[in-house]
Structures are given as C-alpha cells and as structure tokens.
Structure 1
Amino acid sequence: MIFLFDLDGTIVDSAEGIINGLTYAFEKSGDEIPNNETIRKYIGPPFMDTFTRELGFSEKKSRYLIEVFREYYVENGKYESEPYTGMKDLLEEVSSKYKIAVATSKPEVQAREILKNHGLYDYFEFVGGATLDNSRIKKHDVIEYVLDNLNVGSRENTYMIGDRYPDILGASKSGLKSIGVLWGYGTYDELESYNANYIEESVENLKDRIFSL
C-alpha cells in the first residue's frame, strides 16, 4: 500500500505562519484584513482559487497577493509551524511498513524545507508540491506528479490523506481512496460531502485505520 499525505493541516499545524503571511499581504495591498478565523478557512485550497473565486479578486491582484505572502513566508512563516502531536511517531511506524509520500499544494521547495526543519523529511519516499509559477498547483495535478515520481502502477491500494476538500476531490479524480482528518482546517461535513472513504478524528485513529486496511 501507498499513502500520500497532505502537509498543512495534516502533518503540521501551519496556521500561525499562514495567517501572519496573509495578514501581511492584505495589509501591504491596502485591503481590509479578515479576522484570523476567516483566514483559517483559506488554508488548504490554492490561494489563487480562494482569491479569485471566493474574494472576487482579479488574477493580476491575486498573483500580487501571493507574491507578497511569499515574501513573509520565505523569511518567517515557514518556521511558524509545528507537527501535530503523535505525527512523528505515526510517520515512523507507517514508513517502516509502507511507502509514503507528500502531496501538497504548498510550493514544493517550501514543503521540503518545513519537513527538514521538523526532522520529518527522511520518512518520505518523495515530497511533491506546487511550482512557484503556478503551473502545477491543483491538488489533482500534484497527486499525479507524485504518483509519476513513485512509479505507481495500480492505484487500487493507494490512499490520499488530508484535511480539506481538495485532498478528497483530487484523490477521486486520480482514482485513489481518501482518508479525511479532522484535526486540521476542514470539517466533518466538508469531508463527508466530498465522499471521503474514511474520516478520522485523531492521529491515533488514523494510525489504527492505516494498519487495519
């Protein structure tokens, strides 16, 4: 079996750095700064989708906000995260038996730095993420990129694990099963509405689920 893990809201709690980075971007652009709870809802899906579809910004303005966000994130935000309690132990145990990888909409270079910073990088066969030019940013495209790099043949026993709807939707588009998790930034209703195959409430429950499959 193969397990693909989302990063933000699944492996690490990165809310602090992302909230600070988006606050910095909105402040610099002169836009009204959403409250922290509202910004938390932006974590997970690609910012380009959120800015253009949910906030109604133009593509040009959205690209500007993303650029300014990255100014903060590269210098500070990438250090403002912590692995969820029990996650390191889970990755150590699961990687000893199965092949695991990361599939994230976060820029790949940042994802790799964050995992190395927390001592988690070596558990993964491959770490795949978005490109800085947004040519690969949709979760489905990232998943396909990761599967290609893992040389996955049959997808029958490959699972995507994540906390938001793009993880579940991307898994479905790629013919994978999905496991939604509730300690991140999504909700049970969100994960259920996108037909996650399983939904787990805690890291310990996720570990039990993985070893029961």
Structure 2
Amino acid sequence: MAFISLFEVIGPNMVGPSSSHTAGAVSMALLARKLFPAEIKKVEFTLYGSFAKTYRGHGTDRALLGGIMGFETDDLRIRDSLSIAKERNLDYHFSIGQDTGEEHPNTADIDMTGVNGERLFVRGVSIGGGKVKIVRLNQIDVDFTGEYSTLIISQTDRPGVVAHITKVLSEREVNIAFMRLFREEKGAKAFTVVESDERIPDEVVEQIRENPLVSDVMLVQI
C-alpha cells in the first residue's frame, strides 16, 4: 500500500481546483515533456475515466497543456494555457478514449510529435494528492513516478545490456534505488528504468549509448 503523507493529503502547491485532475495532470504532462528529446510540434491527448468525464470543469485540459509547455503545478499561466499553446503554434487535440475497465480512473495518453518527426507515446495516471505514475512508453508497460532521478534506457533485450548499464553507473558511483527491466517479450524491445535518490551525472547518458543495443537514453533529474 502506498504511503501518503499529511502534505499529500493537504495537496501540493497548485493552480486548482483538483489535486488529482489539475495538479496531477500538470505533473504527468510535465514528466512526459521531460522525457521528450526535442521541441514539441504536435500533441494528442486521449482521456479515460473521470478525466474524460470532468476534464473541462476541472481544468484537466489546461493542466495537461500547461505541463507539456513546461509549466509547474503552481504556474498561473496554466489558466491561459489553451491560448498560450495557440500563440506558440503548438498543435493540440483532446479526445475521449474507450474504457476497457483496466485503466486507472485518472488516465491520459500523451502522443507527442517533434519538429523533426520525433515521436513518443506516454500513458500516465494521476494517483491522488498530485502524485503521478508513468505506466506505458511506446506500447511497453512500465512503472515509475519521476520522484527520483530517473534513467530510461530503450534497448534490445539481449544479454550484456543491463551489465553495461550497471557498469557505467557503478563507475560514476551512482546509488541505485530501484532498477527494473520492462519488455514486450524476450529478445524484443525493452526499457530499463533506473531510479536514484541523488542527481545522476549527465555524462552517463552518452556512455550508456555506446552499447550498440541501446537505441535511446532519457534522463529526468530531481
């Protein structure tokens, strides 16, 4: 069972009205933005559950757009994020997804396209008190919160890749809090997610990329 502190019950510093539907949506989209390697040209949001039912009234649409543009949860520009997105020529669209019964009630898919054609699909959930989880990247189920400094390594699931990652981190004296491998199937595309409770040196990104079975490395710092 997840631990919830008194500060989480009170809620984060935020533009309201809802910690789950507004602050959580901002945090989810901001985390997705940090994972994306380029300037975003277009973003498509698909909403599920209570997000889909109340997103206009609770400002979830403004919150998601604000997060994608880099706004924090207490940034007053969130209230005007729809018009700001248009001023920035950010092409955005909201749609309602078909619930399968497996989604968390506060779920959003975020499909980003960069100015040079880069693509990243992220599914996030708002779990309460402004906290979020990323649960899918490019159709692979994952599980991380962004509350730690986080490395996400896109790779082919072959022997030696994880050993390469841990060797690089060990040489840089990175203290690993959590490390998990998520994959489509054995030998296929996979993500290794490494979380540390301290800042991860930026140079590990290029060192990890030296392995030919690594296709991309994303780094989110706390």
Q: Tell me the TM-score normalised to structure 1 length.
A: 0.31
Point out the structure with max Rg over C-alpha: 2
Which has the larger share of helix?
1
Q: Tell me the TM-score normalised to structure 2 length.
A: 0.30
Which has the larger share of strand?
2
